[in-house]
């Protein structure tokens, strides 16, 4: 079955599975325990912490393990807001942030007295830095959130420029790098970012584990209290097997970045885009997925006149896995807030499919998907005319 939905979740890497197995097959041990099995579990956790830190250019003691990217984003947003005085809880977010950031900010506005403003993006989904700068309020803006690259259309954001503007206003910078951390050319932690969210399953690790990189000196109010694990920022017994798998996936992703993975993914994406354009005249590309402006391996396209939900149903029958925008919203197909923010109308947003490639993708996957999409589009067009 051609799997073209890596942006939703990547298949588990063999390296990650092998790292997890010893902790799944042996008796469970708490890494906070002082006996031999507990120390072995702690050693695995700390080794994985070093691997995740290396991927994002951080120090190991800056990595706080969480249950995934969503919890990492929530800890970043809510923890920053609650640490600030009531009069200094102003948040500025790009309009195309993941719902984990947007909804956490909505909570902060509703329940913690924060003020939230959205920075506009252009037609490619790139944040307008001049508009963002105009929203900043020195001494009042607590946090600025701009993701490394958009999970729906692949557009890479100007995070370094945003960070410079935000720091000049005294704000903390959050970068959701869940989609981009494992991809070549998107090492977003160059010392300018304060909070970076990462998720294991986008890298080929297990679901249910992620991390928030918290730069030294950045203060957060913890949201979970208990045993004081993870520097007191995220209490709870650590899932050793999942964390070991996360570390192995991070190491594999880092190795990919040093090799030819980027070129391979770009070539596969371009093969996909060219074949689709030839087979489906009128197909439109969302965002800026070409060249350095977008993530390799991600292609968002509109099929004019065809509903994405109808196409997804038929593609599933053809055994092709892809999605309509983000798969994180609830499983429902609805107009994407990202596409609407880019100026795409609701009809166009509902005609959009997202195809995403990754570490195990092949030319055969791409060619099979192109053939299936061509058949599906022909069937839908024929049905519409009858």
pLDDT, position 369 = 94
249 and 280, same domain (yes or no): no
Could you say which of 256, 287, 303 is where a domain stops?
A: 256
Could you say which of 256, 281, 309 is where a domain stops?
A: 256
Cα distances from 133 to residues 129, 141, 161, 166, 374, in angstroms, run: 6, 11, 10, 8, 44
CA distance 129 to 126: 9
Our count of domains for the chain comes to: 2
102 and 218, same domain (yes or no): yes
CA distance 124 to 145: 18
Q: Is residue 2 part of a domain?
A: no
303 and 227, same domain (yes or no): no
48 and 163, same domain (yes or no): yes
376 and 361, same domain (yes or no): yes
CATH number assigned to the domain comprising residue 266: 3.90.1150.10
Judge whether 299 and 354 are in contact, CB under 8 Å: yes
64 and 160, same domain (yes or no): yes
Q: Which one of the listed residues 143, 180, 328, 339 is annotated catalytic?
A: 328
CATH number assigned to the domain comprising residue 230: 3.40.640.10
State which residues of the chain have pLDDT below 50.
291, 330
Q: Is residue 312 part of a domain?
A: yes
Give the model confidence (pLDDT) of 239-286 as tens digits. Answer: 999 999 999 999 999 999 877 777 889 899 999 988 888 878 788 899
Tell me how crowded residue 342 is: count the other CB atoms within 10 A of its CB.
Answer: 25
238 and 287, same domain (yes or no): no
Owning domain of residue 325: 261-385
pLDDT, position 187 = 62
Cα distances from 19 to residues 38, 59, 204, 249, in angstroms, run: 17, 22, 12, 9
249 and 268, same domain (yes or no): no
pLDDT, position 281 = 79
Q: Is residue 132 part of a domain?
A: yes
Q: Is residue 300 part of a domain?
A: yes
292 and 241, same domain (yes or no): no
136 and 191, same domain (yes or no): yes
Q: Is residue 4 part of a domain?
A: no
The verdict on whether 322 is a catalytic residue reads no
Looking at every residue in the chain, the average pLDDT score rounds to 92
pLDDT, position 335 = 86
The CA angle 41-47-49, to the nearest 5 degrees, is 105
């Amino acid at each position: 079955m051609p799997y073209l939905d890596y942006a939703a979740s990547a298949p588990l890497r063999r390296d990650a599975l092998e790292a997890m197995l010893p902790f799944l097959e042996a008796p469970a041990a708490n890494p906070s325990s002082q006996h031999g099995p507990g120390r072995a579990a702690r050693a695995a956790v700390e080794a994985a912490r070093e691997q995740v830190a290396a991927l994002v250019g951080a120090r190991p003691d800056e990595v706080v393990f969480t249950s995934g990217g969503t919890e990492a984003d929530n800890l970043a947003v809510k923890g920053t807001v609650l640490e600030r005085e009531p009069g200094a809880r102003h948040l500025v977010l790009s309009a195309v942030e993941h719902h984990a950031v947007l909804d956490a900010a909505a909570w902060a506005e509703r329940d913690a007295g924060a003020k939230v403003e959205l920075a506009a993006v252009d037609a490619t989904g790139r944040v307008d830095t001049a508009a963002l700068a105009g929203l900043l309020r020195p001494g009042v803006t607590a946090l600025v959130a701009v993701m490394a690259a958009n999970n729906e259309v692949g557009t890479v954001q100007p995070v370094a420029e945003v960070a410079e503007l935000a720091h000049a206003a005294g704000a903390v910078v959050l970068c959701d790098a869940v989609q981009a951390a494992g991809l070549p050319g998107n090492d977003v932690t160059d010392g300018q970012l304060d909070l970076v969210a990462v998720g294991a399953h986008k890298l080929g690790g297990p679901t249910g584990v992620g991390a928030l990189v918290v730069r030294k000196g950045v203060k957060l109010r913890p949201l979970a209290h208990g045993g004081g694990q993870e520097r007191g920022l995220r209490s709870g017994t650590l899932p050793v097997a999942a964390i070991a798998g996360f570390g192995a996936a991070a190491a594999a992703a880092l190795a990919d970045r040093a090799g030819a993975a980027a070129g391979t993914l770009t070539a596969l994406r371009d093969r996909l885009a060219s074949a689709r354009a030839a087979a489906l005249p009128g197909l439109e590309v969302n965002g800026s997925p070409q060249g350095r402006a977008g993530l390799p391996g991600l292609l968002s396209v509109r099929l004019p006149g065809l509903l994405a939900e109808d196409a997804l149903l038929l593609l599933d029958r053809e055994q092709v896995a892809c999605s309509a925008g983000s798969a994180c919203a609830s499983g429902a197909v609805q107009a994407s807030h990202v596409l609407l923010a880019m100026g795409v109308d609701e009809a166009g947003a509902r005609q959009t499919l997202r195809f995403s490639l990754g570490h195990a993708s092949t030319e055969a996957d791409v060619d099979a998907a192109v053939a299936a999409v061509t058949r599906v589009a022909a069937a839908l067009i024929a049905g519409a005319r009858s």
